[in-house]
Chain A
Amino acid sequence: MKKRKDKNNDNRNIAVISYSLMIIFVLLIAYIVIFLAGDNMELLNNPYNKAQELFSEYTRRGSILSADGSVIAETVTDDEGNETRRYPYDNMFAHTAGHFDNGKTGLEAQYNVYMLNSSINPVVSAMNELKGKKNPGDDLVTTLDIGLQKTAYEALGSRRGAVIALEPESGNILCMVSKPDYDPNTIKRDWDELIEDKNNESALLNRATQGLYPPGSTFKLLTLIEYMRENSDYRDFSFECKGSAAQGGYRINCYNKKKHGKEDIVQAFASSCNSAFATIGLGLNKKRFRTLCGSFLFNTELPVNYAYKQSTFSLNKSFTEGEVMQTCIGQGKTLISPLHNAIIISAVANGGYIVTPHIADKMVNAAGRTVKTFSYKNGDTVLSAEEIDFLKECLLEVTKSGTGHALSGQDYTVYGKTGTAQFDSGNDSHAWYIGYAESGGKKIAVSIIVERAGTGSDYAVPIAKKIFDEYY
């Protein structure tokens, strides 16, 4: 009788323990189901995924569209079934949309799998597959504006440089131009020439995101913010500009050695007075300034999901007084990309947060139905409301009476800062303009660099004006 009981106990134990083991399998299967049912596009889009090209055998690549649905890139199939990628605007979107042949870049690379995915009706899709017909891939709708892109492209002309315009609040990039450029339609044929790069053009480089330049006087914006944070009486600032400032055996000149005379901080900023800002810089706390620049994304990653180069800023104890002065007026060792400068000016425009500039808006299927909307999170708030009020006053003064005067008297109000960045030790300089315009609740921010041109007010400001005029 006792033995009998033992056996029953054994069996009960075996049953309990075995079936509790099944719980891990329930979890495992649930995990697999959730994985398969989830959105794996981002995963599949990983450049290490060699299976991406498999999809192109069964799907005709989707198009890249502007915000209003104009075709920026599309795949056309000839009578023999050969597919070619066509770019109706030729060079205009070369860096922004990227190219397809000879190694994908830009949006073509970044949203590769999304455009190779077909979200049409599954019944139609299955029918197509059985008929051996390719399914139409989803189209990528961007935030780009054809009119603005064209304006920026033409305004830059034959100069080297980059232009970015975006909505400072949403981060929607409206146009992005980089020159020199290339024609993505004929890249196969032009490849050797582009790689050889006889004239040192680096035409394949997207200067808007990957070009690093000394920020020049556009950097005075950050010097100003740091000064405001360290000196609560910044409005009482007064300086007598004699055309240059010297310290520790090093002399900083104002542009053309112009004597600005007695000025307060708003006037010093508006006239981009090097002497005043170099003097301010000598009094700043280096560690705090480094922290400030860090919060404005120097020496760190930008919140974007495409290729870019990281901006650099350095300032430490070992810097001589000359180097400190250089750094505070945007020369020195500081390097910044036009994209990054666009983020900084956007923070003033949008109430103080770091915006995430983006081009991809959503995916729509062949029937025009939205199948995925890309969402972007804004970064930290880096400016207070009081700071913004004062910065706006300074930036507005640039337009009213300073280096951005060409932008005054319009239907829109412009807040901005020019820059004339010297590089190497030559006399050539890059022309900078960062700023934003506001009218009737609509805002647009721009970041413009024209290489080896001259002053910001002569070469970058007119481009900004054309963009603002086109926008409003």
Chain B
Amino acid sequence: MNTIVKLCGYIIVIIFALYTFFCFTVFRGKDKERSERIYSRQRVCIFLISAVAHAVLYLMDYDFRIIILFVLQMIVFFIAVHMYQIFYKGLSKLVLNNMFMLLMIGIFMLERINIGYAIRQSAIVLAGLIFCIFIPVIIKKISFLDRLGWQYAIFGIILLAVVFLFAEEKHGAKNWIIIKGIAFQPSEFVKILFVFFIAAVLTKKSNFKRVAAASLFAAAHVLILVIEKDLGGALIYFVTYLIVLTAVTGNVLYLIAGLSGGSAAAVIAWKLFTHVQTRVNAWRDPWSIIDSGGLQVAQSLFAIATGGWFGMGLGRGLPGKIPIVESDFIFAAISEELGGVFAICILLVYISCFIMFVNISIKIKKPFYKFTALGLGIQFIFQVFLGVGGVTKFIPSTGVTLPLISYGGSSVLSTLILFSIIQGIYVLNGSKEAEDEEAEG
């Protein structure tokens, strides 16, 4: 039995490493047929990893729901891949594959941690996929998307403020709205509006006065999140704004001013708030305060060290010992059971997504859509950095989810929408124009 689990563990790591390898080699050469072949091989990898993982999980305690979940996942996967290619003609197939790969990893890890979570997460993903199918149509129909500007920010700020007034505290952050037992995290969706706001306002004009006004609105978003104790969220909004601003204006002074201001603000926050101090102390030395705030990071490091390069094998770790392992700390559970190689490959798949987002942004001509794609891409990759960096004690933990993998309806839904908007923008603006351009050239 152990033998099979161990062997399956190695197989999963090898297939995933192969998948990751394809992510970075697919663009070598311009052979379209070769690329297509690689994309289908990646899909085979997704199927195999999921199949092997489910086989191990089923053998663990013969829960028949595991098999049902697997079959349903594969049906949804098969249909969704085809539907996306119909509704998003000319989309990035690499990004599409990556999206499903990460979703699959998340769901089988949740099945392992708590099957109830996995079922809930699967239902939300399914709903999200159905909704996202129509995003290109929506973008096409709403032609005033780039004509709005300040409205996005005003709406976003009001939404965040309302959340603050009625919010409940969960995992130390007061940014959850609970309606009829279902918890939402509106800041996950406001952050998409936030990118629309930056892109719309800054691409029309970017003189100093306008930048100052936009910065004020952006700061309002960040400030509300800080007050809600959503430090990770605040950082993501802040960095996204700063980078898009710098890219639009091409003025490095903004970046320098922003980073210095941000650092000063961070120091002030550290001095003022005990919850910030706790996180910083847990990062500096979790061992000495293991009973008062350091336990989570310490347990996470135990898990990563226990897993080593190739992991203890799926189902053979102790994910239950890490607080909120299903969400913010799922990376540690993955490291423990599937090993460091697998975990690093996950990071590389995220990076592959980001590189594609940047390429898409570069290909698009219309400034609004160009910088929307960039902003969303930055948001996505910076969240990955905060999440993985926090869990590995590279940086203080800020309590953010791992996109598409962590348990959490708002998180997975907003990330699916983020992926779909970028793909949608790409198929509506990018590919056609790029072809035109090539024809010109």
Contact = CB atoms under 8 A, between A and B. Distances in A.
A32 B392 contact: yes
Contacts of A50: 302, 318, 321
A36 B377 contact: no
Interface in B266-314: 287, 290, 295, 298-299, 301-306, 308-309, 312
Q: Which of B358, B365, B374, B381 has the most CB of A within 10 A?
A: B358
A46 B306 CA distance: 12
B344 interface: yes
B392 A129 contact: no
Nearest to B301: A43
B358 A15 contact: yes
Interface stretch (A6-14, A100-108, A177-185, A192-200): A6-14
A9 B250 contact: yes
B409 interface: no
A256 interface: no
Q: Which of B1, B6, B247, B344 has the most CB of A within 10 A?
A: B247
A124 interface: no
A10 B368 CA distance: 12
Interface size class of B (residues with CB under 8 A): 35 or more
Contacts of B290: 46, 48
Contacts of B374: 14, 18
B18 to A, nearest CB: 19
B306 A18 contact: no
Nearest to B321: A50
A237 interface: no
B295 to A, nearest CB: 7
A426 interface: no
Contacts of B344: 29, 32-33
B37 to A, nearest CB: 28
B162 interface: no
Interface stretch (A20-28, A74-82, A453-461): A20-28
Contact of B358 (A18, A32, A132): A18
Interface size class of A (residues with CB under 8 A): 35 or more
A27 B388 CA distance: 12
B22 to A, nearest CB: 19
Contacts of A7: 365
A36 B309 contact: yes
Interface in B48-69: none
Contacts of B354: 18
Contacts of A35: 301, 304-305, 392
A131 B7 CA distance: 11
Interface string B211-254: 00000000000000000000000000000000100111010000
A53 B302 CA distance: 13
Interface string A29-47: 1011101100010011010
B201 to A, nearest CB: 16
Contacts of B7: 130
A428 B225 CA distance: 69
Nearest to B318: A51
B247 A13 contact: yes
Given A11-B362, A48-B295, A50-B318, A29 B347 contact: yes
Contacts of A22: 351
A33 B347 CA distance: 12
A385 interface: no
Given A21-B378, A32-B392, A14 B362 contact: yes
Contact of A10 (B247, B287, B308): B247
Q: Which of B6, B305, B316, B374 has the most CB of A within 10 A?
A: B305
Contacts of B3: 129-132
A49 interface: yes
Given A28-B392, A46-B287, A13 B246 contact: yes
B262 interface: no
B358 A24 contact: no
Given A14-B247, A51-B302, A31 B392 contact: yes
B302 A43 contact: yes
Interface string B299-339: 10111111011001000111001000000000000001000
A347 B393 CA distance: 40
A200 B429 CA distance: 85
Given A18-B377, A28-B392, A44 B306 contact: yes
A255 interface: no
Nearest to A48: B290
B340 interface: yes
B47 to A, nearest CB: 25
A123 interface: no
Nearest to B350: A25
B343 A32 contact: yes
B261 interface: no
Interface in A316-355: none
A35 B248 CA distance: 38
Contact of B302 (A10, A19, A24, A46): A46
Interface string B362-400: 100101001000100110011001001100101000000
A33 B246 CA distance: 32
A51 B321 contact: yes
Given A36-B340, A132-B2, A21 B392 contact: no
B361 interface: yes
Contacts of A57: 2
A50 B351 CA distance: 33
Contacts of A17: 243, 246-247
A137 to B, nearest CB: 15
Contact of A24 (B2, B247, B370, B385): B385
A305 B6 CA distance: 35
A230 B328 CA distance: 62
A130 to B, nearest CB: 5
A28 B385 contact: yes
A25 B317 contact: no
Contacts of B306: 44, 49, 51, 54
Contacts of A32: 304, 340, 343-344, 347, 392, 394
A25 B250 contact: no
A40 B305 contact: yes
A471 interface: no
A131 B365 CA distance: 60
Contacts of A36: 304-305, 308-309, 340
B246 A54 contact: no
A263 to B, nearest CB: 51
A130 B9 CA distance: 12
Nearest to B290: A48
**Top 3 A-B residue pairs of the complex, sorted by shortest distance between their CB atoms:** A40-B305, A49-B302, A36-B340
6 contacts: A18-B374, A21-B382, A25-B381, A43-B302, A51-B306, A51-B336
Interface of A: 7, 9-11, 13-15, 17-19, 21-22, 24-25, 27-29, 31-33, 35-36, 40, 43-44, 46, 48-51, 54, 57-58, 129-132
Given A18-B374, A19-B358, A25-B347, 6 more contacts: A13-B247, A14-B361, A27-B394, A28-B385, A43-B301, A44-B305
